[in-house]
Amino acid sequence: MNRNRLGQAETAQKSHASADSLAASRGNWQETAVFVVLLLVAGVALSRNQPDPDFWGHVRYGQDMLAGGLPRTTTYSYLVGNDYPWVNHEIISELLLAAGIATIGPTGLLGVKCWLGVALVGALVLRAARRGAPFMTLGVLLLLTAINLMYFWHLRPQLLSFLCFAILLWILDRALSDWPPRPAVRSPERSSLAQLPRDIVRRTHWLWWTLPLMAFWANCHGGFVAGFAVLAVFLGVRALEAYWRWGRTAWPMIGVFCAVVVTGGLATLLNPYGYHLHRFLWEDLIRPRPEILEWRPPELWNWAWIPWWSLVGVSVAAVWVGRRRLGFAELAVLLGTLWQSLEHHRNIPFFVLAFAFWMPPYLEPLLQRGRATGDGAHQGREISRAARRGWMVALLIAGSVVACLLGQQIGRMPVMRSAYPVSAFQFLADKGLHGRLVIRFMWAQYGLAAFGDPDPRNNRMPIAFDGRFTTSYPRDIVDMYFDFHLGNHPEEPRYRGPQSPPFDGARILERGQPDLVLIGRNQLHPVALLRSLQPEWVLLYQDEIAELWGRALRYDNPAGPDYLPPDERELSGRPQSGYVAWPAFPVPRQAGTSTVET
């Protein structure tokens, strides 16, 4: 009888264990399904498919380099010509974009961009999971990271900068994670690496991988400056902690840290410009650029920045509530990137990535407070089989919908007619108009790609100024354009160089004698200025978003070869809806095809 009871007890224990195992496997399966759906949501957030205004330029500059090498002076501009140096700090990025367009096309590049974003977010979440973060923390981390990267994850050189930054954080974490913050007994003995913990000494070898990373980064994007600053700050704080913990015994390790920082900085000199790149970036970055939106601070009361301010609030609350203490080096990097992101939009991803690396352990105590009440309320309740089936059906439907949306986004790169002068460009091509062109800043690289030629002898449509800004234009040209673009209104954020001439909104219409001016109808100052300059300038084309003006002496002179009769001009407020597939260049009428979709 005792044996029977013992056997029954063992059978009951096994059945309970198998039931627990089955429940755990079901729970894991459900969590996996939810995680897959969340990854698809992250993919949608990171697959924005509308081209950035600079995308045309980056592709064209890469094509020019593949065809004829690296230009040393400004191209495509009549105001500067071939006598002003162009410091291109995005060489590798532009070569990759040009090669990508030539091989996999724009939709292929969109797929690569999306895959890189999902892989990055997934790797950050996987790292947190391996360190014991529970499922809810992983979900919050995934969504916060993806949504806050969404507005910055474009096909631009910045993309490689963000990836290099993530790799830098991974190297630093791999080499110096779990650093002891409290001092031990200081050793008065002779300094030697052999006296330090072997694991710490062995892992510092990973730091030397920052050298090829910094050399590569310096040829991809100017964001390497932020990367070098993070490297120096992180290792500098670690050096102070090492001395505080081990005293003179830590000098060899501190020497390694200093050598990595110095050689990492020297590695950035491996670029076509040498130290001139660093001198240019220093002179350029110390000047404000309020005319460009991404160089402004995030707005507190703008709905678009709610995810960002939510991330900042969660970070502060997590550190406040968390029972663990953040390392000094990690805290220094987080505070530094937070400070820079509060100064400029474009620095926000650096803080987002630092948050994703180091904040997950501090999220859990914050989330536990929210779960405590819910767990108590539902304690003892068991989910029925029907409820589980309904839950999985809902996940399947949600995943299918999100996957379809993701496929739709990465399957096309639309150039919206409501944002770009597609119809105005078609008019220029149809009428055979050419000449020196003053064009709206955000349309300029689209224009030079559509009409320009890198050889100035063959360029029938050179432009005045474009988004390369001070990398290829002197300060007085920059100020000349924004005098025309923004006017002299005190409420407009401006910076004018101390050597620039006094304000003159019409100066760009006189210097170099431009023939054509293409502006947006919402540009109040240029529109009013050109109307005031009639009959010297004549309106040739107008639609809902754009106006094309021509110099009357050339286009309104019946005796001239370029005369455009009034009945061939198009003056209307025609709505601009739908899109054209990238690159949205003018289509010859005789081709009989149209890429417009509405």
DSSP secondary structure letter of residue 540 = E
- Which long-range CB contacts under 8 A does 324-328 form with residues at least 24 apart? 324/361, 324/362, 325/181, 326/358, 326/362, 327/179, 327/181, 327/358, 328/181, 328/237, 328/240, 328/241
Give the alpha-carbon dihedral of 185, 188, 190, 191, to 10 degrees: 40
How far lies 416's CA from each of 6, 49, 473, 593, in Å? 76, 11, 29, 18
List per-residue pLDDT tens for the chain, 598 residues long.
Answer: 444 444 444 444 444 443 343 344 444 667 778 888 888 999 999 998 999 999 999 999 999 999 999 999 999 999 997 789 999 999 999 999 999 999 999 999 999 999 999 999 999 999 988 888 888 888 889 999 999 999 999 999 999 999 999 999 999 988 887 665 444 444 444 444 455 555 566 678 899 999 999 999 999 999 999 999 999 999 999 999 888 877 887 888 889 999 999 999 999 999 999 999 999 999 888 888 888 888 888 887 778 788 888 888 888 888 777 666 678 899 999 999 999 999 988 899 999 999 999 988 888 777 776 555 444 444 444 556 676 677 677 778 888 888 898 888 899 999 999 999 999 999 999 999 999 999 999 999 999 999 999 888 889 999 999 999 999 999 999 999 999 999 988 777 888 988 889 999 999 999 999 999 999 999 999 999 999 999 999 999 999 999 999 999 999 999 999 999 999 999 999 999 999 999 999 998 654 444 444 4
Supply the pLDDT for residue 314.
Answer: 86
Alpha carbon distance 210, 22 (integer Å)? 46
Read off the tokens for 216: 């590569």
Alpha carbon distance 184, 250 (integer Å)? 12
Closest CA to 74 of 55, 58, 61: 61
Q: What pTM value is reported for the model?
A: 0.88
Supply the pLDDT for residue 494.
Answer: 87
DSSP, collapsed to helix, strand or coil, labels residue 157 as coil
Alpha carbon distance 106, 104 (integer Å)? 7
Handedness of CA 25, 27, 31, 34 (dihedral sign): positive
Supply the pLDDT for residue 304.
Answer: 78
Supply the pLDDT for residue 191.
Answer: 47
Sheet holding 546-551, edge to edge: 437-439, 516-520, 546-551, 537-542, 570-571
Supply the pLDDT for residue 181.
Answer: 43
Alpha carbon distance 305, 412 (integer Å)? 27
DSSP secondary structure letter of residue 77 = B
Sequential DSSP letters for 384-398: -HHHHHHHHHHHHHH
Supply the pLDDT for residue 245.
Answer: 79
Read off the tokens for 291: 């005319």
- Rounded to an integer, what is the distance from CA 491 to the centroid of its chain? 28
